[in-house]
Amino acid sequence: MYRTAFEQLYKWKENKNRKPLIIEGARQVGKTWLMKEFGKMAYKDTVYINFDSNSKMADLFSSDLNIERLIMGLEIYIGRKINPDNSLLIFDEIQEVPRALSSLKYFYEDAPQYNIVCAGSLLGIALHGGTSFPVGKVDFLNLYPLSYREFLMALVGKSYVELLDNGDYDMIKAFKQTYIDALKQYYFVGGMPEAVQSFVLNKDFKEVRDIQKRILLAYEQDFSKHAPIEIVPKIRMLWNSIPSQLAKENKKFIYGLVREGGRAKEYEAAIMWLCDCGLVYKVSRINTAGIPLKAYEDLKAFKLFVVDVGLLGCMTGLHQSVLLDENTLFVEFKGALTEQYVCQQLSALDELDIYYYTNDRGSCEVDFVIDTGEKIIPVEVKAQTNLKAKSLKTYCERFSPDLAVRTSMSDYKAEEWLVNLPLYAIEEIVHCK
């Protein structure tokens, strides 16, 4: 299975000022597989160390962090020499041994010749929870569930993705049914690697759902196992409320939907925990558009999306026939699923800051506003082919952006004041002019 993260890993390897690399991402998005596969592809030797329940590694890193001593200890542990020129050192579940995290500073300063990649399923919590780690001495890479493009590549092959990249929308139009069918399947399957792998091999929707249920169960177990005991019930209630939050026409997060009378103060820690785990995307409101958008962020108003569109469908008990057959009863929730999909694809682009816009009166809402660092792009999301975009027009009249995007099931069309970008091509937004 191809992951676009491989390209970032090769760039990291070739960088003369390379630092130890920390891969962040939710549990089950494929961090361990990615590191091992990259080791096979790019190095003669891969040294894989899992720090979870590893008392020998805990002991090795517990005393001084002299690099020669650490390398000797690792060589004894694996039973062979480590050649810095052609070995990849993988430190998995590194958050379990905080001293190993601290050692990355010394690897960078005293032995930069070693290629080190690290990951951990709850690493975000460790990093944001005060665990000492070497600021400025490590590189970071965010790993997400497979994007639609990666799913498409696994399902029907690279040529369909290359066609999107070429931007030949006349040609794309000829094959649009393939893109639309794959998109509907992606809404159901999502991007969790195990679910995608299963679907590509067997085309069995029930098997996919079973895998998704197992993943959701593992997340629930993580709540109890790793979160502070006093916020576990709040995490669980908040997590379970997200589908109903997204089903509303106005998808702004409402604490009262978690629990009647619920207030922000009660749930702040729970939201932060889920964000640090990589399990939710938090999209804050802005009420004006200027660069950088972060300067205009309203911290009190936000939307929450889950890590993966397939998991959202699983949480709601969505049946594949409802989705694939365009059942009329599904109209209401389709908007939520589509907005979740767009948020997920934009988030995976990584270089974008994502917000949504409402004016002070609440009479105008734009689903997403993205900051590329160079320009601000408002994005209106349409689940069907309905192309009315009244709020987007109001936004454009007020702020005059260089580019406005409406994304829907309709074909590509560049109009005077906006571009209609098909949902299956939303990742091409960074190339729109």
Average pLDDT over residues 105-124: 92
pTM of the model: 0.94
Question: Which pLDDT belongs to residue 154?
Answer: 97
Is the C-alpha dihedral spanning 215, 217, 219, 225 positive or negative?
negative
Question: Which pLDDT belongs to residue 383?
Answer: 83
Q: How far is CA 317 from CA 212, 219, 240, 327, in A?
A: 11, 17, 12, 15
Question: Which pLDDT belongs to residue 389?
Answer: 72
Nearest-angstrom CA–CA distance, 254 and 195: 31
Average pLDDT over residues 315-340: 79
Average pLDDT over residues 395-409: 93
Question: Which pLDDT belongs to residue 91?
Answer: 97
Least confident of 38-47, 85-94, 224-233, 381-390: 381-390
Average pLDDT over residues 382-389: 75
Give the pLDDT confidence of 280-308 residue by residue, as tens digits. Answer: 999 999 989 888 899 999 989 999 999 99
Question: Which pLDDT belongs to residue 417?
Answer: 84
Nearest-angstrom CA–CA distance, 220 and 214: 10
- Structural domains of the chain in order of their starting residue, each with its CATH number: 5-142 (3.40.50.300), 148-431 (no CATH)
Degrees (nearest 5) of the Cα angle 268, 271, 275? Answer: 135
353: alpha, beta or left? (left if phi > 0; alpha if psi -120 to 50): beta
The candidate with the shortest Cα–Cα distance to 117, out of 139, 132, 95, is 139
SS3 194: helix
Q: What is the 3-state secondary structure (H, E, C) of 250-292?
A: CCCCCHHHHCCCCCHHHHHHHHHHHHHHCCEEEEEEECCCCCC
Indicate whether 388 pLDDT > 90.
no
Indicate whether 342 pLDDT > 70.
yes
Nearest-angstrom CA–CA distance, 132 and 227: 19
pLDDT band at 386 (very low <50, low <70, confident <90, very high): low
Nearest-angstrom CA–CA distance, 427 and 55: 44
Give the helix ranges, DSSP H, for 191-231.
193-202, 205-226
Question: Which pLDDT belongs to residue 121?
Answer: 80
Question: Which pLDDT belongs to residue 324?
Answer: 73
Indicate whether 328 pLDDT > 60.
no
Average pLDDT over residues 356-370: 91
Give the pLDDT confidence of 166-222 residue by residue, as tens digits. Answer: 989 999 999 999 999 999 999 999 999 999 999 999 999 999 999 999 999 999 999
* % of the chain residues with pLDDT over 90: 78
Nearest-angstrom CA–CA distance, 385 and 128: 42
Degrees (nearest 5) of the Cα angle 378, 380, 386? Answer: 150
Question: Which pLDDT belongs to residue 249?
Answer: 82
Tell me the pLDDT of the chain averaged across its residues.
92
Question: Which pLDDT belongs to residue 248?
Answer: 87
Question: Which pLDDT belongs to residue 327?
Answer: 62
